[in-house]
Amino acid sequence: MLEPGEIPEIEPNIRVGIILPEDERVNISIELPADQDYLLVDTNSKLRKLKKGKLLNFRIDNEQCFLDRENSSLIKSTGFKIVPVSDDYKMKKKAGVKVKNVVSGRSFHWKKNIDVNLTGSIEIIPHINNIILINELPLEEYLMCVATSEMGITCPDALLESQTIIARSWILANVEQKHRHLGMDVCNDDCCQRYQGTNNLSQQSTQGARNTFGQVLIYENSICDTRYSKSCGGVLESFNNVWNGASKPYLKPIPDAPADFNNSNLPLNTENKVNGWITSEPETFCSPHYIPEEELIQYLGSIDKAGRYFRWEFHYTQEELTALLNKKCALKAEKIIAIKPVKRGYSGRLIKLRIEYLKNGQRQAKLIEDQYRIRECFHESFLYSSAFIVEPDSGSIPPTGFTLKGAGWGHGVGYCQIGALGMALHDYSTEDILSHYYPGAKLIKIY
């Protein structure tokens, strides 16, 4: 596994969690490729050669793993490994073993199950009453896959190269370590970085990784913690409005726009300014001015829904919002009276808000803190961002409904993927893009 704070001198292997305990899986099907030999290794280190193209069905029972076989007995072990006989294989679309029904978009509104093709080796390990699955592979192979899992294959080179460099920097900075206790460096999803194996691998993304082999962003002798999100909505949020811990000098709250952009409205720290900002379309890199939203779908990753991310809006009836907030925030409210902003970040993202409601005929209030928690509460699965204003239907109090008008998708800190796409489409270079989103950081080749 990667060691926190260590700058590797040769390309490391990394361990990616593909099936996690929360997926609650008790069986897993894996299809071997027709053009490559694999070995099965059990926990007693017994090796078995596997047939090309074979479908393997694993299951767990009583903390033991079983591999069902057609004409012979079961193989039982406390874990299995599937290892390629040779590492001399070509990185191409759909290379590697196919793991069926892997969750993508875990706990987000775009959640679905997909089959993923994985190079490197696979480990199947019992975890209490479930199975987890870990993919171990060379970092650069992983990065070739991340670039096109995060964005579509038609992206310009400067976008794929910059995306690859920040994906490499983020994983090697290794700050978050959300899954280390499970023996994983990262998971396969938006919680860490979206990785769908070789499913969408293209010549372009492979080239993007090769062109930037071993390059990372460095600030004061440490690899930068290069956070990124899909769309900032026009202004980058500051690190400390989203996470705890020491602030990072290269994660600055700045407009996502050229240097001559008129930023007299920033920061968005009054309701007047936020209203004006969200109900307009300032010409930032992630705005339709740089990339028309109807063209976005060809560049975004294959599982994202077509839609509007720079500015979005939707309406809840009084009944819908009451039911939602009762479920998500345990209010036991009869009616919602108002949603009041209490504190916003630089980008207009709400980091504290107050819900005013009626319970047993009495007026009550509840504070919701943290942009993540706010996004969780205000959508059945997860709201695009917490940069929103709430307009009650006019006429009565409590109102008959509420309209949410918002900006951006994600936490908005660091690299804005749609903004970087806007820059790349307007001939900004990989270096221009990186120095815009991580001012003061240096691009260095470490291996």
The residues binding Zn ion (CB under 5 A) are 178, 187, 191-192, 232, 256, 286, 416, 419
Sequence letter at residue 409 = W
Q: With respect to Zn ion, which residue has the nearer C-beta, 123 or 256?
A: 256
Shortest gap between Cβ of 195 and Zn ion (angstroms)? 10
Torsion region of 405: left, alpha or beta (phi above 0 gives left; psi -120 to 50 gives alpha):
beta
The neighbouring-strand residues paired with 55 are 31
Judged by CB, which is closer to Zn ion: 333, or 416?
A: 416
Residue 166 CA neighbour count, 13 Å, CB half? 31
Q: How far is the CB of 304 from Zn ion (least distance, A)?
A: 16
Q: Give min distance, CB of 250 to Zn ion, in A.
A: 16
Min separation Cβ 161 and Zn ion, Å: 18
* Cβ distance to Zn ion smaller for residue 225 or 256: 256
Decide: residue 224, CB within 10 A, 0-12 exposed, 13-18 middle, 19+ buried: buried
Could you give the CA distance from residue 417 to residue 420 in angstroms, rounded to a whole number? 5
Q: What is the smallest separation between the CB atom of 284 and Zn ion, expressed in angstroms?
A: 6
**Shortest Cβ distance from residue 178 to Zn ion (Å)?**
5
Shortest distance in whole angstroms from residue 123 CB to Zn ion: 17
Name the residue with tokens 């307007």: 426
Integer-rounded Cα radius of gyration of the chain: 24
What separation in angstroms does the CA of 381 have from each of 110, 375, 401, 423?
Answer: 9, 9, 20, 31
